[in-house]
Structure 1
Amino acid sequence: MSMLLEVSGVSVTFDGFRAINNLSINFAEAELRAIIGPNGAGKTTFMDIVTGKTRPDEGTVIWGEKNISLLGLSESQIAMEGIGRKFQKPTVFEDQTVRQNLAMALKNPRGPFAVLMHSKTTANAARIESIAEEIGLTQSLTRRAGELSHGQKQWLEIGMLLAQEPRLLLVDEPAAGMTVEEREKTTDILRKAAETRAVVVVEHDMEFVRRLDCKVTVLHEGSVLAEGSLDHVTSNQTVVDVYLGRGHA
């Protein structure tokens, strides 16, 4: 299986605190992965490094079949390479409709002539309908995004990222603040998305992770502590001691 992203020997220190410590972690072309760990384990810093927000002190971050080093690229260049990130708090255009939000996010040619020639093509309309169906918002396309529930806003933001056709999607705690029904729908959306791209989910909710039914990586003090199925990692005594024993289960 070819690797899409290879993080090797990465470390970063903030004011004397080593947030990431010789971290090595790889992701395949199309897979669903959950990353768990106690607060301060390095989960957010890991995403910051991959997306160019934070520069590590050492190590390599290699992307795609051309073996591009992400460490030499800006945040916008990394996004153009096909890495999308969804933060915990949804950021959608609340005054625009769901359809308009998705339309603005569509991956289209960006040159000046492309903008002049661009119109509401049938291809774009079909793509918007397809994404709306995938995220469960077909019935809400004409609604203002600000009227949506918290869970629906999360789905819309995932849809806006999918519209950009990323090869890797980083999702930060999508289950936070959701109802049980919304959480179930969210796992369905993420599992479907991972059929054609890599989807990495940082999450605290163990039931949510269990429903994702995917490979789990446990981070602790900036390094990989354990990796495998949820049952495998949660039966690891060290994982129990540093993470599950602290009331995070």
Structure 2
Amino acid sequence: MSALLEVSGVSKSFDGFKAIDNLSFSIGEPELRAIIGPNGAGKTTFMDLVTGKTRPDSGTIRYGSASQDLTKMSEARIARAGIGRKFQKPTVFDDQTVTENLTMALKSPRSPFTVLMRRPSLVERAAEVADQVGLRGDMGRRAGTLSHGQKQWLEIGMLLAQEPRLLLVDEPAAGMTAAERERTTAMLVEAAKSRAVVVIEHDMEFVRRLKCRVSVLHEGRVLAEGSLDHVCADPRVIDVYLGRQEAVDA
């Protein structure tokens, strides 16, 4: 498995607070990786740095076979290079149908002429993506009428429609029912068969079901890495993270 993302010696401070401190690790392609850690560990800042929303004070973030330095690229260029990000709160177009949300997101030429000419194939492709995220039977529904979990799936579908090589997903299980969490697990595992998927999550049972490598961040650094059982047995992880969570069965 080759490295798709290489984070090397990256640091970022905000008003004297070091959110990321000489962070180094890599993500393969394909790979499913979970990132866990206490609040303030640097998880969201890591995603901000990879997507270009924030610039590091030092270090490099290399991406792809051409080893592009993401720290020198704009947010739009990074997105075009194949990096998609899903925020914790779903961001879909409530007044548009599931089909319309997906067709707008599809990776294709965007001129009015090509959109009109390709409309049948766009709809067919949207149906394929809807299948992947469990929304084939809801394609005619307005997104605003979907449940919270279904909106999460629609946003994941909109990102998959863009054919990303790296998908960053922030707390996908938050607010979901048990059945929705189970389907989301299967969805992410399947997506990671052909790309890199990085999941930030606090729900340890959800992480356990992903059955993937786990990176624990603390004070902007990787504190431990390995299987969930391995990191949960690490005294340092218990001290700074698991010991503060009342509902965790380590």
| TM over 0.5, shorter chain | yes
TM-score, normalisation: structure 2: 0.96
1:118 CA displacement: 2.6
Contact 2:62-2:69 within 8 A present in 1 as well: yes
Partner in structure 2 of residue 124 of structure 1: 122
Partner in structure 1 of residue 202 of structure 2: 204
Map 1:97-116 → 2, pairs under 5 A: 97-110=97-110, 112=111, 115-116=112-113
Q: How far apart are the structure 1 equivalents of 2:121 and 2:75?
A: 29
Query: Amino acid of the residue matched to residue 115 of structure 2?
Result: H
Q: How far apart are the structure 1 equivalents of 2:193 and 2:2?
A: 15
Query: Amino acid of the residue matched to residue 183 of structure 1?
Result: R
Q: How far apart are the structure 1 equivalents of 2:38 and 2:226?
A: 17
Alignment partner of 1:52: what SS? coil
Percent identity (aligned) = 67
1:127 CA displacement: 1.4
Alignment partner of 2:60: what SS? strand
Establish whether residue 69 from structure 1 lines up as the match of residue 66 from structure 2: no
1:22-52: CA deviation from partner (whole Å, max 9, x where unpaired): 0001011111000000000000000000000
Query: Amino acid of the residue matched to residue 78 of structure 2?
Result: I
Alignment partner of 1:32: what SS? strand
Map 1:62-211 → 2, pairs under 5 A: 62-110=62-110, 112=111, 115-119=112-116, 120-211=118-209
Query: Amino acid of the residue matched to residue 42 of structure 1?
Result: G
Alignment partner of 2:19: what SS? strand
Q: How far apart are the structure 1 equivalents of 2:36 and 2:2?
A: 24
Query: Amino acid of the residue matched to residue 192 of structure 2?
Result: A
1:140-198: CA deviation from partner (whole Å, max 9, x where unpaired): 00001000000000000000000000000000001111100011111111011101110
Contact 2:5-2:64 within 8 A present in 1 as well: yes
Alignment partner of 1:118: what SS? helix
Alignment partner of 1:162: what SS? helix
1:190-233: CA deviation from partner (whole Å, max 9, x where unpaired): 01110111000000000000011100000000000000000010
Gaps of 5+ in 1: none
Contact 2:83-2:167 within 8 A present in 1 as well: yes
1:124 CA displacement: 2.0
Query: Amino acid of the residue matched to residue 171 of structure 2?
Result: E
1:242 CA displacement: 0.5
Tell me how many residue pairs correspond in the alignment.
246
Establish whether residue 240 from structure 1 lines up as the match of residue 232 from structure 2: no
TM-score, normalisation: structure 1: 0.97
Contact 2:99-2:123 within 8 A present in 1 as well: no
Query: Amino acid of the residue matched to residue 3 of structure 2?
Result: M
1:121-147: CA deviation from partner (whole Å, max 9, x where unpaired): 443222111111110001100001000
